[in-house]
Amino acid sequence: LYLIEGAFSDIVRYASAAVDPRADWIIKIAHLLCEPLGSGRVFTHTTGTPEDWYTSDRTPSWREVVPGDLLLPGIYQFETTHPIGLSKISERQSHSVTASESVSNSSTFRTQLNERDGGCVLTRQLFPLAASHLIPMRIGSDGARETVERFAGVAEATGINQFDPRVGIMLFKGVDHWIDVYDAAFYHIANDTYTLHNFNPNFPGASVFGTGTNTLGSNMPPLHGFQVALSVRAGVHPLPPPGVFNWHYLQCVIKRFGTLQYRNIPDIIFFVYPFRTASESDGLNDEDSDDLDRNPPYPSYRVDRYLHQVSESHQ
């Protein structure tokens, strides 16, 4: 089962560290797709081309890929001894709005983020700002809790709901849109340090302010590769755990590189209400869903392997 695939030249844009691209990115994405907190392993072939192996099973000639290995064009396979529950896909199909009963919660959410972050976490601008949901409201509180548990652990998921400060950050409105539609994401480096990655192929030179083209030089640093160390500026609310950023980052990867085979798995897409719930209020989004009993966030599928194609010619 191929889950993501892309041209090698596109993949290295996200996998590069210093001079030579390393396989750490492939290993991390494989886990986020199949077993975020598990101990599965990644393998790749040592002979032949990706085309030679595309429809063939792994043999003893394949080697395990470990952090620090050089990233090369090829097929990468994830393997674990446990049944794999594939990560569900969140699609942004339309701009929904805030239901009247959610306005109070949204206002509190914004106040808490503003106090904790003290402005945009990237640009330090004080306006115009958006209380950005890394885990969208349309997934609902149950979905947010299950998502955090899967990607950050049971302890981090305790008490989580769709308006919890641990699922959001304060951003300048221009870049908030990129985060909202899965065109940009925070790649976790260490502790609370992240590097921004731009997944929009149409605007590779976008600025950290969310403008499509970086035209103002040093006054507008590029979005891609921008590094930020997050911190609690004031208040008692903690930052989102790295697992929350990892979930959002994965959605950007899937949007850019996800295969049709992955997207067509039954019930792999989060449920989204097909109708508007209320008039727009203060620019807040409402993507609430209470359909999780019938359509839980993470169905469990038995998958023998994860395959990742990064060839020069296949895209």
Q: How far apart are CA 273 and CA 296, in angstroms?
A: 14
Q: How far apart are CA 177 and CA 6, in angstroms?
A: 25
Identify the band that residue 212 occupies on the pLDDT scale cut at 50, 70 and 90.
confident
CB atoms within 10 A of CB 252: 23
Question: What number is the average pLDDT over the span 162-184?
Answer: 96
Q: Does residue 255 have a pLDDT over 70?
A: yes
Burial 169-192 (b: 16+ CB within 10 A, else e): bbbbbbbbbbbbbbbbbbbbeeeb
Residues 6+ apart with CB under 8 A from 116: 165, 170, 232, 233, 234, 235, 237, 239
CB atoms within 10 A of CB 159: 8
**How do residues 98-130 score in pLDDT, each as one tens digit?**
555 567 899 999 999 999 999 999 999 999 999
Identify the band that residue 215 occupies on the pLDDT scale cut at 50, 70 and 90.
low
pLDDT of residue 243: 98
- pTM to 2 decimal places: 0.85
Cβ(86)–Cβ(135) below 8 Å: no
Question: What number is the average pLDDT over the span 78-107?
Answer: 77
pLDDT of residue 19: 61
Identify the band that residue 139 occupies on the pLDDT scale cut at 50, 70 and 90.
confident
Question: What number is the average pLDDT over the span 66-92?
Answer: 93
Sheet holding 184-190, edge to edge: 184-190, 193-198, 227-229
| Mean confidence (pLDDT) of the chain | 84
**How do residues 37-75 score in pLDDT, each as one tens digit?**
999 999 999 999 999 999 999 999 999 999 999 999 999
